[in-house]
Amino acid sequence: MKLTRRTIMALAACSTALIAQPFAASAQDLPRNVRMVIGSNSTGGDTYQAASIVADALAEELGINIKVDAVGPSEAFKAVGRDSRGTTIMLHHDQSYLANLYGVPGNPDPFEGYVVGPTLTINPGNAYLVPKNSPYQSMDDVLQAAGDGERVRVAIQPGGVSEIGFTAMRNAARMASPGSEENIVAVNTGSQSDKNQAMFDGLADVINGSIQANEQFAELPEDDQKAMRFLWITATQEALEQGPEAGVGNLTREDMMQYAAPATTVPMSESEPFTFDKEFFLIYNQEMDPAQMETIDTALATVFENEELNQRLLDAFFIPDYRPMEEAAAHLQQKRDDYATVIESLKAPAAQ
């Protein structure tokens, strides 16, 4: 099946119940009604889509009610932080720790004062694009331009997933030619439509976007003011290989692979390319009963063995990514530490 943005939204909104037997221990371990707060204010974005799909399956397995509530990151942290009874849990993605690393107010460190729970799914769509008539044909061209003293403007939403790829570009520029990272400059915007508009208005040379949101513009002819071209997809090869072969719109999985490592490489170090998978995971109150967390972990292990859930995620262009809580926390902590190193290194003067 060929996916379009409209199809993805419709599939994610669908609340068809998955057939499963309720998990027997749920009644004694978890409240009958659970609120899942998410780090997004939107009911149309990928965070709400992922939460809805997983919450439906988890509620069916546990025999409880789970209500997804789009309150935004600050309010989500507050809500889960004041409820230790297990009636409130949080779902968010890497922005939960990236915003803290970038110093965004109202975004605490989820590894301090909270319990990081299991990973659930990946959205492999994080991307960077240029106008179709741009002279930049590759990320090498962007880095070379910066090295030659050319100013490259990149539209991002500061403080999270949108900014980490921009940070990676600056790090790679610095590695290639110390000081040239100053030529890669941020155009700070807001939503995806704001980033798109910055490109349409000629205010940005490169924008952060996504496969799902921007593929429609990549289909436009070059003489259209809104026509875009993918330059870089940050997802790992392993994540993309698990996606549907038909891809999204006219962008097939094979096409996507040409914009991601190892075909398109933005160095993170001398031996390692920068990659970023946008992973969704649960966050708990640190005083929540460990037995309740274990009940959720066990139920998730069961539902992720269900091909119907995995297919529903894939149909909405999410990659199933279940890791139990202990493994997930270690994985995400390492991921956070790796990105923190890059972010901090750019605060120091470049070695000449």
The reported pLDDT for the residue numbered 282 is: 98
The DSSP-derived string for 333-350 is: HHHHHHHHHHHHHTTSPP
Q: Dihedral through CA 48, CA 33, CA 322, CA 249, nearest 10?
A: -30
Give, in words, the CATH class of 126-275. alpha beta
Asked if residues 83 and 285 have their Cβ atoms less than 8 Å apart, the reply is: yes
Listed in sequence order, the DSSP H helices in 82-128 are 95-101
Asked if residues 306 and 114 have their Cβ atoms less than 8 Å apart, the reply is: no
Residue among 293, 292, 322 at smallest CA distance from 309: 322
Asked if residues 172 and 143 have their Cβ atoms less than 8 Å apart, the reply is: yes
Measure the CA angle with vertex 337, ends 104 and 127; round to 5°. 65
Domain with CATH 3.40.190.10 in the chain: 126-275
Domain with CATH 3.40.190.150 in the chain: 5-123+277-339
Tokens of 161: 């997933």
The DSSP-derived string for 79-92 is: HHHT--SSSEEEEE
Rounded to an integer, what distance in angstroms lies between the CA atom of residue 339 and that of residue 199? 27
The reported pLDDT for the residue numbered 160 is: 87
The DSSP-derived string for 151-196 is: -EEEEE-SSSHHHHHHHHHHHHHHHHSTTGGGGEEEEE--SHHHHH
The reported pLDDT for the residue numbered 27 is: 42
Residue among 214, 218, 244 at smallest CA distance from 317: 244
Superfamily of domain 5-123+277-339: Bordetella uptake gene, domain 1 (3.40.190.150)
For residue 123, give every residue at least 6 positions away whose Cβ sits within 8 Å of its Cβ, in sequence order, or none.
46, 50, 93, 210, 212, 278, 280, 317, 318, 319
The reported pLDDT for the residue numbered 44 is: 87
Report cis status (omega within 30 of 0) of the bond before 324. Answer: no
Per-residue model confidence as pLDDT tens for the chain (352 residues): 556 655 555 555 554 333 334 444 444 579 999 999 999 999 989 999 999 999 999 999 999 999 999 999 999 999 999 999 999 999 999 999 999 999 999 899 999 999 999 999 999 999 999 999 999 999 999 999 999 999 999 999 999 899 999 999 999 999 999 999 999 999 999 999 999 999 999 999 999 999 999 999 999 999 999 999 999 999 999 999 999 999 999 999 999 999 999 999 999 999 999 999 999 999 999 999 999 999 999 999 999 998 999 999 999 999 999 999 999 999 999 999 999 999 998 876 554 4
